[in-house]
């Protein structure tokens, strides 16, 4: 048993190419398959038997995660393709006397670009993987070229009407990636948060240098972290602390310069 990683020295693509070159029979189960990788790995192969179980999902095809053209190419190469409509996440490649159980799909990302890891098996363990494949093969639905043609036609019709939607989704994805990466440029308050627009005087008060390490200072540090330009995000817990310090502890700044924020926070938690 050995591990297969995608790195600068080797990747799943080279490992699978070696496996295919040394076998007469190949069995594959993976959700996502792209035509380029099918052609690169199998276009010139001389396999006696090729069987593939994959995901049959309009959503996956529409998103480009997988391609019906790849399944058509597998059929053209003499392969048998069977599909599952949901629940498929396994990625297993099984040859005559070897197998690979991995995280890598039969895509460019899976075989080379993504951080993927797999385990190569030999002998009895590979045979065991084949036994499980046979079980899933009997459960899966056979696919033919007519099915693929109908899917491609339906996708083309949908794509013709969804250009603007895809553009919007790409913009949303970029905004969300900025949030996840820690960029303060974009965020949207959740239902358990409020967003308060600060005046220049309030911004100056919140952003003043902190001295000491007490609870009041930790609250101001929290507010500074929650600022995005002139917007302040407050969770329910933040609001409770703001009200507590603004109404009970005699902190002059909260009663004067941040009074409107204290009032909004009090309304939110009541």
3-state secondary structure of 88: coil
Choose from 88-92, 184-188, 252-256 the range with maximum mean pLDDT. 88-92
User: Is the model more confident about 231 or about 34?
Assistant: 34
122/72: higher pLDDT: 72
Rounded to whole angstroms, the Cα distance separating 184 from 193 reads 16
State the pLDDT at residue 89.
Answer: 94
Q: Are residues 34 and 106 in contact, defined by beta-carbon separation less than 8 angstroms?
A: yes
* Between residues 32 and 160, the one the model is more confident about: 32
Q: Return d(Cα 155, Cα 178) in angstroms, integer.
A: 30
What percentage of the chain carries pLDDT values higher than 70?
83
Q: What is the mean pLDDT of residues 56-64?
A: 89
C-alpha dihedral, 172 to 176 to 178 to 180, nearest 10°:
-170
Q: What is the pLDDT of residue 150?
A: 93
Say what the pLDDT of residue 173 is: 66
Pick 82 or 204 by higher pLDDT. Answer: 82
- What 8-state DSSP symbol labels residue 110? I
Identify each DSSP E strand in the chain by its residue range: 2-5, 25-29, 49-55, 80-84, 91-94, 98-102, 117-122, 141-143, 193-197, 227-228, 231-235
Instruction: Please return the burial class of 46, using the count of CB atoms within 10 Å of its CB with bins 0-12, 13-18 and 19+.
Output: exposed
Q: What is the dihedral of CA 180, 186, 190, 194, to 10 degrees?
A: 140
pLDDT tens, residue by residue, 178-219 = 555 444 434 445 556 788 888 888 888 888 887 766 677 788
What is residue 165's predicted lDDT score, i.e. its pLDDT? 63
Question: pLDDT tens across 25-34, in order?
Answer: 999 999 999 9
More confident residue, 267 or 132: 132
Query: What domains, with CATH codes, occur in the chain?
Result: 2-158 (3.30.870.10), 193-269 (no CATH)
Provide mean pLDDT across the span 124-151.
91
Per-residue pLDDT band at 242 (split at 50, 70, 90): confident
């Amino acid at each position: 048993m050995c591990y297969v990683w995608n790195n600068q020295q080797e990747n799943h693509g080279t490992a699978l190419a070696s496996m295919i070159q040394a076998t007469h029979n190949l069995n594959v189960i993976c959700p996502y398959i792209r035509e380029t990788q099918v052609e690169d790995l199998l276009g010139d192969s001389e396999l006696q038997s090729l069987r593939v179980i994959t995901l049959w999902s309009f959503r996956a095809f529409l998103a480009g995660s997988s391609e019906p053209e790849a399944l058509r190419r597998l059929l053209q190469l003499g392969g048998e393709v069977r599909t599952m409509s949901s629940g498929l996440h396994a990625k297993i490649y099984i040859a005559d006397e070897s197998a690979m159980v991995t995280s890598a799909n039969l895509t460019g990302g899976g075989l080379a670009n993504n951080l993927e890891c797999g385990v190569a098996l030999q002998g009895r363990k590979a045979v065991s993987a084949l036994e499980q494949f046979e079980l899933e093969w009997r459960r899966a639905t056979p696919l033919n070229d007519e099915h693929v043609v109908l899917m491609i036609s339906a996708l083309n019709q949908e794509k013709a009407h969804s250009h603007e939607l895809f553009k919007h989704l790409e913009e949303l994805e970029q905004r969300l990636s900025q949030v996840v990466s820690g960029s303060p440029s974009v965020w949207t308050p959740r239902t358990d948060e409020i967003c308060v627009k600060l005046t220049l005087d309030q911004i100056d008060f919140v952003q003043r240098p902190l001295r000491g390490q007490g609870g009041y200072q930790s609250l101001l540090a929290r507010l500074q972290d929650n600022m995005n330009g002139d917007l302040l995000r407050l969770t329910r817990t933040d609001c409770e602390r703001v009200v507590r310090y603004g109404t009970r502890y005699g902190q002059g700044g909260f009663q004067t310069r941040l009074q409107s924020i204290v009032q909004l926070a009090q309304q939110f938690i009541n």
